[in-house]
Amino acid sequence: MSTDDSADRIFKALAAQTRRSILDALKDDPQTTGALCARFPALDRCTVMQHLKVLEDADLVIVRRQGRVRWNVLNPLPIKHIHDRWIGPYASRSVEMLDRLKSDLEG
């Protein structure tokens, strides 16, 4: 899988509000699938599982099974890679422009 394919999967996964909410729920602690389903009572279990599959395919969620229990763990590395590739360079350029503007206004 190429880097572009991986980034496309990550952006697709992050495009849906429900999936972002699932990632928020996993931010502090791993959650069982049952616990995630309970957090989203408007969704049936099948829908939550479909969202988790998209997140897993994007490598944003790592699944660990303990017996019959499925634990979902946030993998923050793909988000960091997106930040490093797309957000960081653009943000640093903006900060440089603001710094120049400040210097010009003070000078």
pLDDT in tens, 19-64: 999 999 999 999 999 999 999 999 999 999 999 999 999 999 999 9
Question: What's the whole-model pTM score?
Answer: 0.81
Residue 1's pLDDT band (cuts 50, 70, 90): low
Q: What gap in Å lies between CA 55 and CA 14, rounded to an integer?
A: 8
Contact 59, 78 (CB under 8 A): yes
Written as one string, the DSSP assignment of the chain is: --HHHHHHHHHHHHTSHHHHHHHHHHSSS-EEHHHHHHH-TTS-HHHHHHHHHHHHHTTSEEEEEETTEEEEEE--HHHHHHIIIIIHHHHHHHHHHHHHHHHHHH-
Q: What local confidence, expressed as pLDDT, does residue 2 receive?
A: 66
Residue-wise pLDDT for 73-102, tens only, equals 999 999 999 888 888 777 777 878 888 888
Q: What is the mean pLDDT of the chain?
A: 92
Give me the domains of the chain, ranges plus CATH numbers.
Answer: 3-75 (1.10.10.10)
